[in-house]
Structure 1
């Protein structure tokens, strides 16, 4: 892609230089037509420059998308290898060693958590693909959002600490009903909470709130993690977009989670905004009108 950009810039520079040269030669041989030559030359240069500018933007956009897709493939590879290696090791340990029943059950539970992680990632990729090619119809029905959020919180309530400390503090107002696509909104809630956990330090709490006020439903996820720079806030909902390079990034992910969140909420006429938490971290707030 860099080679393509260099060739493009070289062609543009050559074309402008040739135009100026031929304009100079025409004026020199036909001085009586200087005004017409300069006017037409200026118009041609303006049109050519505008076209070159938009071509430059298109090539840059393509280059960024290419880089994001490369990062996406790298991240998917890492995301698949890690839980698969963990599951393989746990099963081999069960197979080759004489373990107690409690140890076997513990290893099975850990394997199931890794399988759930793989399942979430596959569901994300499938949903993102369907959204992108517009084959997903977002079937809507009434359901209890409070129960949905509570079940996801309980599933993700895993400890990163030796002291088995709960890291998700939930304040969920009961019996909040909503009409929407339950499967897609499950992905929204899961992605927002998982992101908050992912970008937080071990043992840092994540606050999840769900409440209803003035005929609007509010869902909020706040963390005390690394935060998001103001320059990145407008881009975090882009497909494949992740801050930094896949070779140097410590956090896991595919760059599809927040893209799915934004697309699903748009289909539900809901809004989402991100703001800084105090003293550190980010707050994502969803409003269903």
Structure 2
């Protein structure tokens, strides 16, 4: 991709992102406006409800005060009526008792007269119970021992001569001994005939029918007279109460319309008003702190009383709502104004919009992330494409030299004169072999990196003495280092240098680090290799005094195909795969690799490997 195309795409994506951002801002602004209108509507409705309740409580207060004032008059007005009713009921009760006593006396007189008649016609009459009466009336009564007259002989106390016979009197129950209220319907007598002295049964009604009718008429007349008089007294009492209710409403209306009552006496107490405001705001779902105060309509600086957190608050402050406290029925009367201020209004609205704001911010963050990642991916792909191009160029250059050398050696073998010279043939054959080995190593390095990326290389973990391994690698690179007069300083200070690792690949790691230190030194390389250990890890440091790197270059040296640029010169050979291969191998063995470098002052690579690694 060309650089111009990249800038065009970046500009278009930025423009689209700004467009989405502006649309989100507009949406949030409109949402805030709508929420603010709904909030103000709720507050105004709550304030209107407060005013209505204050007005109702004001009327109720007038009614209560007037009711207290008229209570004494009301009690005094009905007391006489109550006393009259009570006296009338007492008098009626007394008359009723006298009438009942008179009726009972008439009943007793009736029963006494009937009892006297029975006693004059029969001998020793005796009142019996209903059960005894039914027993004597039984058809088998003859078998029952009925009482008979007790007749005794009368003799002279001196001579013993029979003077005659007499009836022995018995103790009997007479009528005056019976209670009128407990009389049965019929009174039963056991009497004896004067003729033959045989027992007889006589029944006497306890109440004469004429008396019953007479008593009912007397009771009905008395009850009717009582009810008529009582209704008349109640009617007089209702008239008194009705007149007082009319007077109460008239007096309350007159007091409410009285323009001389000061505003301070008409408003409720501050605590009561505060509770009322809080209740109405809660009913609308508003839980914010608030300030309120009351002033006259024409002078909003004359504050009657207030509840505010800041005494310098003016009625014209932000987030303040006002309402007329009392309806202006009388032109000369000040209806008063109530002010309500909610300092945290904006915070409450934004809290209400949390879901909207969160979704908008989340969407913007996602878009910004996608935009950034897309630009990053494009730039990375561009750089990767450039590095692959460099890799192909380097690979072509690296492969071209041995191929050309092999081609020249092969053509020389065709010369008849050389065929006869066995020494030259042997030397040419060695050249061809060495160049083939070189080509094979290049190919194997590229394939190893590819296999390592696909996790196709299986590391064999065995005990490895790192100090000995470093010494062996340095020895194997002796000729290569001597060509550039390199100086190697080995500071193998690790007392515990045995780790679990793959000896072959670990030697490749050390080889690559030393090879880079050798290649990227402008003068004779000066290389130091140090080892040290802690309780858990072994550290390998490869330090050179070469060309060094910038901070941006140190961030990318472990990327595939990346090579520290050296201008248009191709004196430094390689594919840009070595350090990527080193990092992957160290990671596979459970370790880490760090680099620190300064331009033109050298580079330090530090490899950290654990003593025990659970793969």
TM-score (norm 1): 0.73
Match of 1:193 in 2: 514
From 257, 260, 267, give the equivalent of 2:581.
Answer: 260
What does 1:101-112 align with in structure 2 at a 5 Å threshold? 111-112=432-433
Q: Identify which range, 222-231 or 72-81, moves more after superposition.
A: 222-231
Give the secondary-structure state (helix, strand or coil) at the position aligned to 1:158.
Answer: helix
d(CA) in 2 for partners of 1:267 and 1:156? 25
Contact 2:554 2:597 in 1 (8 A): no
Match of 2:475 in 1: 154
d(CA) in 2 for partners of 1:143 and 1:109? 34
Asked if 1:68 corresponds to 2:387, the answer is yes
Give the secondary-structure state (helix, strand or coil) at the position aligned to 1:134.
Answer: coil
Between 1 and 2, higher relative CO (CA 8 Å, sep ≥ 6) is seen in 1
Encode CA deviations 1:123-178: one digit per residue, 9 max, x unaligned. 321221122222333231223444543343233223577xx675352637599533
Cα 1:86–1:50 shift into 2, 3 Å: same
Give the secondary-structure state (helix, strand or coil) at the position aligned to 1:209.
Answer: strand
Cα 1:117–1:157 shift into 2, 3 Å: farther
From 126, 141, 146, give the equivalent of 2:462.
Answer: 141
d(CA) in 1 for partners of 2:487 and 2:426? 25
Cα 1:49–1:141 shift into 2, 3 Å: closer
d(CA) in 1 for partners of 2:604 and 2:13? 47
TM-score (norm 2): 0.38
CA-CA distance at 1:180 after TM superposition: 0.8
Cα 1:114–1:196 shift into 2, 3 Å: farther
d(CA) in 1 for partners of 2:512 and 2:546? 16
d(CA) in 1 for partners of 2:491 and 2:591? 19
Encode CA deviations 1:230-273: one digit per residue, 9 max, x unaligned. 33112211222223389665422111100111111122232323
From 227, 242, 249, give the equivalent of 2:548.
Answer: 227
d(CA) in 1 for partners of 2:30 and 2:589? 67
Contact 1:196 1:225 in 2 (8 A): yes
Cα 1:260–1:251 shift into 2, 3 Å: same
Contact 2:463 2:500 in 1 (8 A): yes
Give the secondary-structure state (helix, strand or coil) at the position aligned to 2:608.
Answer: strand
Contact 2:17 2:367 in 1 (8 A): no
Q: Identify which range, 1-10 or 78-87, moves more after superposition.
A: 1-10
Match of 2:311 in 1: none
Match of 1:9 in 2: 11
Give the secondary-structure state (helix, strand or coil) at the position aligned to 2:521.
Answer: coil
Structure 2: gaps spanning 5 or more residues: 35-355, 611-615
Contact 1:224 1:277 in 2 (8 A): no
Match of 1:207 in 2: 527
CA-CA distance at 1:53 after TM superposition: 2.8
Encode CA deviations 1:49-70: one digit per residue, 9 max, x unaligned. 4432332222222222222222
User: Aligned-pair RMSD on alpha carbons?
Assistant: 4.2
d(CA) in 2 for partners of 1:282 and 1:62? 28
Cα 1:147–1:59 shift into 2, 3 Å: same
d(CA) in 1 for partners of 2:6 and 2:13? 11
Match of 1:240 in 2: 561
d(CA) in 2 for partners of 1:278 and 1:47? 39
d(CA) in 2 for partners of 1:90 and 1:246? 32
Give the secondary-structure state (helix, strand or coil) at the position aligned to 2:479.
Answer: coil
d(CA) in 2 for partners of 1:20 and 1:213? 58
Give the secondary-structure state (helix, strand or coil) at the position aligned to 2:509.
Answer: helix
State the structure with more CA Rg.
2
Contact 1:157 1:167 in 2 (8 A): no
From 405, 426, 442, give the equivalent of 1:121.
Answer: 442
d(CA) in 1 for partners of 2:367 and 2:555? 31
Match of 2:154 in 1: none
Match of 1:181 in 2: 502
Report the number of matched residues.
281
Cα 1:223–1:101 shift into 2, 3 Å: farther
Give the secondary-structure state (helix, strand or coil) at the position aligned to 1:283.
Answer: strand
d(CA) in 1 for partners of 2:478 and 2:18? 63
Contact 1:83 1:115 in 2 (8 A): yes
Q: Identify which range, 256-265 or 266-275, moves more after superposition.
A: 266-275
Cα 1:73–1:223 shift into 2, 3 Å: same
Contact 2:592 2:609 in 1 (8 A): yes
Contact 1:130 1:136 in 2 (8 A): yes
Contact 2:550 2:599 in 1 (8 A): no
Asked if 1:275 corresponds to 2:596, the answer is yes
Cα 1:104–1:134 shift into 2, 3 Å: same
Q: Identify which range, 81-90 or 97-106, moves more after superposition.
A: 97-106
